[in-house]
Structure 1
């Protein structure tokens, strides 16, 4: 197994079966040191199982190998127990001890230290995360955001080499979630922590992750930076998971897909005449006065506050196209307009077999 010195953790062909069903299949992945990696995917795709295997709470199938800091912790009959892996785990529900003060919660994982050293470490981590004014409080008296910070501090107190976080922001209201998320990223970046965060929210992964691992049905669909995975998705599934898309089937000819609303080039190895799929981001569409583009009609408008969703119908398409605009467009429902396109937000893929896209919610 090749070891990358820039990797904090390396997984090779990690698999896990339950009752004969593959929950993880042949996962090979390098987690960069000092960065935040997001495991992203729908419920049931295997991301939380992978987190438990990394932590040592669950064992992978025989043949799986894991190295941490260049040392094998799983493989060839070797299995390092969780308490010896120097891995921290922050739970989705925070799992704070209700009868212990904040200071006592922070000290819980430091029992291997002397009492003075434990007290110094609690003071150090509390100061770094801004918890000094809360040290004597019990968890039930804290807000959701404060509980999240205490759970983060407790996980960081033993100075783990890697911090695992399972949906750490999902219990917070939207506005608070964004603020706490920013604070958490700043804290982790400030101390250079290697973190692996599980999330089902693509916007969260884009906002938080230095690296995104998109998972699908127990396998890795795509790995990349936020820009790579959003701007250059490897499949229609990846394109649609990372953000809304209008799907248009077209015909492949001479290096381009031909659709009822235009032709778009792509680097695909397809024979002429084959079916292909164009995934068009809502922000790729704009509208102007009738007669200055493709003839269309406005069929619905949804005001979102900072933006507006506009559904437009174009002949001969059976379904309307959705456009996302941050500019107020003074057009009414039923009005004729012209559709214009920005081809940079059009992603082209081979046509998938029926059922190849996102499953129904």
Structure 2
């Protein structure tokens, strides 16, 4: 049996209020050492506030923060940011424009002797692959080069934990993916403990060893990328991690009966109660007319690696959307058959008013 990872950061009942509003409400979380943890959520959910509390640039109104076994924030204690052994990388990189790359990297090493400082700058510049940029100034660097310099500066003091706030959001898509892969590869080679804030579920799935999905100041679900995508615990989690077709059905004690099929599950409901199926677009596949469920193609959108297809299925009031990585030869308006892969169907028993489910009961 694999040994459990040590805990690098432990949060216990963290609360942060702005005025009368709770921005964070009793957040408890264990961040594993040597892994990448992604704080994921939409704008305003509290993820950046949580990062600032860990960094020490903001103070909690309640709860405790423990880094590497040492309390750094609590009812009777507050350790300043510079004494927490953390590296902080901002969304805009915050490089000092008047300093060369070399001097930017050396900025957090001022307590080291000159020779040790120079050796560490040379070491981290080589590790990140920016040795050729050491005499340049930030204004002369591309976005990807600035990102790498910011990463090197944050790692130069050998922090116990690296905190990154939307570190790839300022880059163009193609460059973003390449720089992200390079950054993650570097962090894994170093065995670094990192907490990365992102609003992008695809980025979290690609980067994180652990994903912490946040919603309205609370943790909605925590898990590995596979756990949080394949086994969402709420409709919100299911839909945030990827598109879903919503479908209302009736629970029969063992399965959810819907107009397009019956899906087994384990819901704490009485027979006859309404429940919801969340059907991933990739759970649907088109077959020749006469097989499967009868449907009609309403629209087709080619998006490069796949086609997005909208299908009308009687008696559903809303079309179903599917993604196909194979070319579908049938034209818009054609009658087709539809089959479902039940592995990508998730059932939920307690619709939340915030999910706007009330109208689905009328379907």
Other-structure match for 1:89? 88
Is this contact kept in 2: 1:275–1:351, CA < 8 A?
no
Is this contact kept in 1: 2:5–2:32, CA < 8 A?
no
Q: Distance in 2 between matches of 1:5 and 1:166?
A: 24
Q: Secondary structure at the match of 1:198?
A: strand
- CA shift at 1:66, angstroms? 1.1
Which aligned pairs between 1:1-361 and structure 2 lie closer than 5 A? 6-62=6-62, 64-356=63-355
1:130-186 CA-partner distances (Å, limit 9, x unpaired): 111000011111111000000000000011000000000000000000000000001
Q: Secondary structure at the match of 1:355?
A: helix
TM-score by length of 1: 0.96
Is this contact kept in 2: 1:40–1:213, CA < 8 A?
yes
- CA shift at 1:357, angstroms? 5.5
Is this contact kept in 2: 1:237–1:357, CA < 8 A?
no
Is this contact kept in 1: 2:244–2:281, CA < 8 A?
yes
Q: Distance in 1 between matches of 2:315 and 2:208?
A: 41
Q: Distance in 2 between matches of 1:99 and 1:241?
A: 41
Is this contact kept in 2: 1:5–1:70, CA < 8 A?
no
Q: Distance in 2 between matches of 1:217 and 1:355?
A: 11
Q: Distance in 2 between matches of 1:351 and 1:188?
A: 40
**Which aligned segments of 4 or more residues in structure 1 are displaced greater than 2 angstroms?**
353-358
Q: Distance in 2 between matches of 1:311 and 1:102?
A: 51
Distance 1:238 1:33, change over 3 A: same
Is this contact kept in 2: 1:236–1:357, CA < 8 A?
no
- CA RMSD of the aligned region, Å? 1.1
Distance 1:189 1:105, change over 3 A: same
Moved more, 144-153 or 72-81: 72-81
Moved more, 96-105 or 197-206: 96-105
- CA shift at 1:268, angstroms? 1.1
Is this contact kept in 2: 1:254–1:272, CA < 8 A?
yes
Q: Distance in 2 between matches of 1:357 and 1:222?
A: 20
Q: Secondary structure at the match of 1:49?
A: helix
Aligned residue pairs total 354
Q: Distance in 2 between matches of 1:143 and 1:84?
A: 32
Moved more, 41-50 or 254-263: 254-263
- CA shift at 1:353, angstroms? 3.8
Q: Distance in 2 between matches of 1:119 and 1:353?
A: 57
1:210-231 CA-partner distances (Å, limit 9, x unpaired): 0000000000000000000000
Q: Distance in 2 between matches of 1:265 and 1:252?
A: 9
Q: Secondary structure at the match of 2:14?
A: strand
